[in-house]
Structure 1
Amino acid sequence: MDSPLPSRPPAEVTSLPLADMEADTAADTDATSPDPAPRTPRHDRSPSVRSRALSGAIRLGVRPFVHRVPGHAGSIRTARSTVDAASLLMRHTQRVRILPLHDPQVETGRRERPVTGEWVVTREAEEVPTDGAVLYLHGGGYVVCSPRTHRPITSRLALDTGLPVLVPRYRLAPEHPFPAPLEDAVAAYRWLLARGVPASGIVVAGDSAGGHLAAALAGEICRIGLPSPAGVVLYSPWVDLTCELSTQAQSRARDPYISAHSARRVARLAVGPAGFEDPRLALLTCPWTDTPPVLIQVGGAEVLRPEAEALAEALTAAGADCELQVWRGQMHVFQMLNRVLPEASAAMRETARFIRAVTTAAPSAAEAVA
């Protein structure tokens, strides 16, 4: 059955819990150099001591495991269980509620894909229709992770923007290779529109493989003629699934988390027997006509940085409004650690600024389509 759409709370921005703000402030003070001039962008400052220490720990404890996981179905199932269990250690703030969603869409009379996942809403939100939402597509190489694993990001988005965040549970490879995830993402976007959420109030967002999926969704929305969302947010997007760019960057990058080798192995599972022939996979050759404003955040130390830069160039060349932020010294999807790292918290605030700027308050009723 349908889960009711929660409404936006009265305040446009909900402040962080006091404990979060204190941790954020304290972490901001442990940078190794004096505080830069106010005009220096936050993403261009030297990494904090906390950031460098955590990156070193992940490089030693996590990267070897990720690099050596075999690329077959049995190992993927083990990895899924491990990641889901580990997600319990990264607790999200208690100032949000998680509302499960399962809609088989049988009442439409059409062959619509079921929409499952969860809503992440503030405690103050009411369970009534809304005029906006964030559609968040989680990362995980198209093979692991779930809405639950990404609650540190989705809960922060809900708090900072006041918008409900819909996180669909899209199908994963190798059981369901691309374009199955894209079909599920399109179904979730249509589901929002069909329930009266205007396109001008929807922001599509995602990280890593979810960043690839969010960008592919934006292109597919244009191709099939759906109303364009208000904006797109991409965290460390995995732009080039052929991994040509990341392989070239491997010798220079100091990514503490992923490698081009592991990304290439996972990519073969993500695309399945069809390979890389589907044009919807190729973000760098997409025409990007009528693209909404895009915010891209990428860590300066990660191996996917050249891909994010290439996508920003392609979007800008096509006339799109694209803001690229390279966060100096940061790792892949560092935004996940927004309750620990000052840089991650600042990146989430930048995201909220972008979302507030692109969403509008007076959408046309014609925008809501089935």
Structure 2
Amino acid sequence: MTDGVFMDPKSPDEPTAEVTPLPVPATAPADPERWTHDHRPSIRSRALSQALYLGLRPFIHRVPGHAAGLRAARSTVDAASLLMRAGQRARVLPLVDPRVETGTDAPPVVGEWVVSRSPAGASTSRGAILYLHGGGYVVCSPRTHRPITSRLAVETGLPVLAPHYRMAPEHPFPAPLEDALAAYRWLLDRGVPASGIVLAGDSAGGHLAASLTGEIMRTGLPRPAGTVLFSPWVDLTCELSTQEQRVARDPYISAYAARRLARVVVGPTGFDDPRLALLACPWADAPPFLVQVGGAEVLRPEAEALADVLDRADVDCELQVWTGQMHVFQILNRVLPEASAAMSEAARFVTRVTRTEPVAASAVA
């Protein structure tokens, strides 16, 4: 990848906690494309979930639904993200490409590449992972999600492109989708074959990755190799998650707060844009999907509903429910054994759909 402007920040290596992987899957399911990892959550997982439930969730439940409060939250998260590193075996290459060569109004592609430092982790085939970060379409950035992107880069051997996309309230939907589509076109324009590209995202980024998959199909662009969704926010109307809120003890996400955010995300046009409605999307001929969701989170019914829709469309869809796990637990893969195992499952899926060589577990960051 020589286009754009790359700068290596040369950040120092940081130590990584030792994590003992769990067996995956824990039981042999009747349907190999749907299984529940039914191990009792680890001590670390239970302790962290309890701490978040008592300490952070009360604030998230009261997240403001107005522009000033959301901008303040974004500034706080951005400041905290300065402490994020890519890990010992990955490095970050910032990317800025104004795309002046297109001669059109195509938006610039700004973000970062996350690549493996190890020659053993470099894929012999051309490809890339396009990762879209979560954060309710209002906060977070590629930097906040480096624990996920660096793990994907090291374990799959593929470079991970994590673009900045415009966020609400300044830029309601479909602005994020337009930026994600621009990043996908950018990869294609630079010779990365669609058969080597995997779309991925978590939470709102999971919604965006799935919406991007549908938009690629609608616009006739070459189909990507697959789509990976971590705890996707499937239904922005929040009907299913609000129902689940009555019985689930989600340690992190509040369906009521998500519903307030959704009104900001969709802007004045409301929920009428069909690109928002993943459960009504015509998914025939879509690429393979991997959907991972925590068993304790209120978004679990949404992930299951999306898997049902994909199954009815005869799409290759793997649904994994991780018992007792919280929203986007994969970001804690350096700490939680369940998160480490889930990331290895994601790498296995990427390897399968792109037909790349797997990377040895000893090379994982």
Task: State whether TM-score is above 0.5.
Answer: yes
2:108 aligns to what?
114
**Aligned mates of 2:101, 2:4 — CA distance in 1:** 14
1:263 corresponds to 2:255: no
1:132 corresponds to 2:132: no
User: What SS does the corresponding residue of 1:295 show, helix, strand or coil?
Assistant: strand
TM-score, normalised with respect to structure 1: 0.87
Q: Are the counterparts in 2 of residues 3 and 100 from structure 1 also a CA contact under 8 Å? A: no
Kindly state the Cα deviation for residue 90 of structure 1 after the two structures are TM-superposed. Answer: 4.9
Q: Which moved more, 1:239-248 or 1:40-49?
A: 40-49
Q: Are the counterparts in 2 of residues 28 and 48 from structure 1 also a CA contact under 8 Å? A: no
Kindly state the Cα deviation for residue 137 of structure 1 after the two structures are TM-superposed. Answer: 0.3
Matches within 5 A, 1:11-22: 20=16
The CA deviation string for residues 61-84 of structure 1, in whole angstroms up to 9 with x for no partner, is 111111112111111111112212
1:57 aligns to what?
51
Write the letter of the residue equivalent to 1:354. F
1:85 aligns to what?
79
User: What SS does the corresponding residue of 2:201 show, helix, strand or coil?
Assistant: strand
2:92 aligns to what?
98
Q: Are the counterparts in 2 of residues 3 and 99 from structure 1 also a CA contact under 8 Å? A: no
Distance 1:98 1:243, change over 3 A: same
Distance 1:292 1:81, change over 3 A: same
1:218 corresponds to 2:213: yes
Distance 1:94 1:286, change over 3 A: same
Q: Are the counterparts in 1 of residues 36 and 323 from structure 2 also a CA contact under 8 Å? A: no
2:313 aligns to what?
318
Kindly state the Cα deviation for residue 124 of structure 1 after the two structures are TM-superposed. Answer: 3.7
1:141 corresponds to 2:136: yes
Kindly state the Cα deviation for residue 95 of structure 1 after the two structures are TM-superposed. Answer: 1.5
**Aligned mates of 2:87, 2:210 — CA distance in 1:** 28
Q: Are the counterparts in 2 of residues 136 and 168 from structure 1 also a CA contact under 8 Å? A: yes
The CA deviation string for residues 24-79 of structure 1, in whole angstroms up to 9 with x for no partner, is 12x869xxxxx997758782211111100000001111111111121111111111
Kindly state the Cα deviation for residue 91 of structure 1 after the two structures are TM-superposed. Answer: 3.9
Matches within 5 A, 1:35-50: 39=28, 43-50=37-44
Kindly state the Cα deviation for residue 113 of structure 1 after the two structures are TM-superposed. Answer: 1.5
2:292 aligns to what?
297
Distance 1:39 1:170, change over 3 A: same
Q: Are the counterparts in 2 of residues 134 and 205 from structure 1 also a CA contact under 8 Å? A: yes
Distance 1:170 1:274, change over 3 A: same
2:191 aligns to what?
196
Distance 1:127 1:310, change over 3 A: closer
The CA deviation string for residues 223-277 of structure 1, in whole angstroms up to 9 with x for no partner, is 0000100000000000000011111111111111111110000001110111000
1:175 aligns to what?
170
In structure 1, list runs of 5 or more residues that go unmatched. 6-16, 30-34, 362-370
Q: Are the counterparts in 2 of residues 43 and 328 from structure 1 also a CA contact under 8 Å? A: yes
Q: Are the counterparts in 2 of residues 214 and 234 from structure 1 also a CA contact under 8 Å? A: yes
- The number of equivalent residue pairs is 343
Q: Which moved more, 1:291-300 or 1:100-109?
A: 100-109
- Percent identity between the aligned chains? 71
TM-score, normalised with respect to structure 2: 0.88
Write the letter of the residue equivalent to 1:310. A
Kindly state the Cα deviation for residue 89 of structure 1 after the two structures are TM-superposed. Answer: 4.7
1:161 aligns to what?
156
User: What SS does the corresponding residue of 2:227 show, helix, strand or coil?
Assistant: strand
Write the letter of the residue equivalent to 1:239. V
1:348 aligns to what?
343
The CA deviation string for residues 189-208 of structure 1, in whole angstroms up to 9 with x for no partner, is 00000000000000000000
Kindly state the Cα deviation for residue 129 of structure 1 after the two structures are TM-superposed. Answer: 11
Write the letter of the residue equivalent to 1:265. R
Deviating beyond 6 angstroms after TM superposition, the runs of 4 or more aligned structure 1 residues are 35-38, 125-130
CA RMSD of aligned residues (A): 2.6
Kindly state the Cα deviation for residue 86 of structure 1 after the two structures are TM-superposed. Answer: 2.8
**Aligned mates of 1:296, 1:36 — CA distance in 2:** 14
Kindly state the Cα deviation for residue 354 of structure 1 after the two structures are TM-superposed. Answer: 0.4
The CA deviation string for residues 108-134 of structure 1, in whole angstroms up to 9 with x for no partner, is 222222111000001146999971000
**Aligned mates of 1:319, 1:28 — CA distance in 2:** 31
**Aligned mates of 1:88, 1:106 — CA distance in 2:** 30
1:75 aligns to what?
69
